């Protein structure tokens, strides 16, 4: 019975993770598309552009302000929960697939690590990866994006190699992806959202 419950839990969390992940990345792609397709010819005063669109039987008129509308709306939608939900469901999926029974899927066959040690390495790597990324971005290296990108790529390859020595192939590479996802969501939580709150507070 427990095995069947874990299978259904695995399936449910996996679908939730996929759906919210598509929503997060889809919203990001949508705003890139929107920015690139704004009509910027003779916009109204205070606007940088607008776009007319039709979808699902509805006609929409979207406007982008150069700074802010004359009066800020009471209900301003913040695009953050798509990212947070993706990370939370991803960690939940790691727990269901790997951490609930680490000797089954997480650890490499014949590994000398205990299950608890494997779980600590897996979870710890997410936060260590974020702190290393954040430290490098705040260092002088952060002013050289190309070099920073090379260094981060090398560190991710090194992480994949290190994981492959103690984790199964599946566990190793999914944890590399989890580190990348944690970095992305960490940017939303620590950098993007505080900057947007400061912007709204300054122009309100």
pLDDT at 197: 93
Q: What is the pLDDT of residue 97?
A: 93
State what percent of residues in the chain have pLDDT above 70. Answer: 100
Mean pLDDT of 117-133: 96
Helix (H) or strand (E) holding 50: strand 47-55
| Positive/negative CA dihedral, 154, 159, 165, 169 | negative
pLDDT category at 1 given cuts 50, 70, 90 is: low
Contact 148, 142 (CB under 8 A): yes
pTM of the prediction? Answer: 0.89
For residue 191, pLDDT beyond 80: yes
pLDDT value, residue 35: 95
Alpha-carbon distances, residue 79 vs 17, 36, 63, 189 (angstroms):
17, 19, 17, 11
72 band by pLDDT with thresholds 50, 70 and 90: confident
The distance of Cα 89 from the centroid of its chain, to the nearest Å, equals 11
Note the pLDDT tens digit of each residue in 18-68: 999 999 999 999 999 999 999 999 888 889 999 999 999 999 999 999 988
Locate the domains of the chain by residue range: 1-203
Q: Are 111 and 118 in contact (CB under 8 A)?
A: yes
Measured between alpha carbons, how far is 113 from 109 in angstroms, rounded to an integer?
Answer: 10
């Amino acid at each position: 019975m427990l095995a069947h419950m874990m299978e259904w839990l695995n399936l449910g969390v996996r679908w939730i993770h996929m759906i919210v992940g598509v929503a997060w990345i889809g919203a990001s792609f949508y705003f890139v598309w929107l920015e690139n397709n704004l009509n910027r010819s003779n916009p109204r005063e205070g606007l940088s552009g607008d776009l007319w669109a039709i979808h699902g039987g509805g006609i929409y008129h979207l406007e982008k302000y150069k700074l802010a509308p004359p009066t800020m709306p009471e209900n301003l939608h913040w695009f953050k929960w798509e990212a947070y939900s993706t990370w939370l469901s991803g960690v939940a999926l790691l727990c269901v697939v790997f951490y609930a029974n680490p000797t089954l899927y997480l650890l490499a066959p014949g590994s000398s690590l205990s299950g608890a040690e494997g779980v600590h390495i897996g979870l710890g790597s997410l936060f260590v990866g974020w702190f290393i990324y954040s430290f490098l971005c705040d260092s002088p290296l952060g002013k050289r994006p190309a070099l920073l990108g090379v260094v981060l790529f090398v560190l991710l390859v090194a992480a994949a190699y290190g994981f492959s020595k103690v984790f199964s192939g599946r566990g190793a590479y999914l944890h590399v992806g989890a580190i990348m996802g944690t970095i992305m969501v960490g940017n939303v939580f620590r950098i993007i959202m505080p900057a947007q709150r400061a912007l709204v507070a300054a122009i309100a």
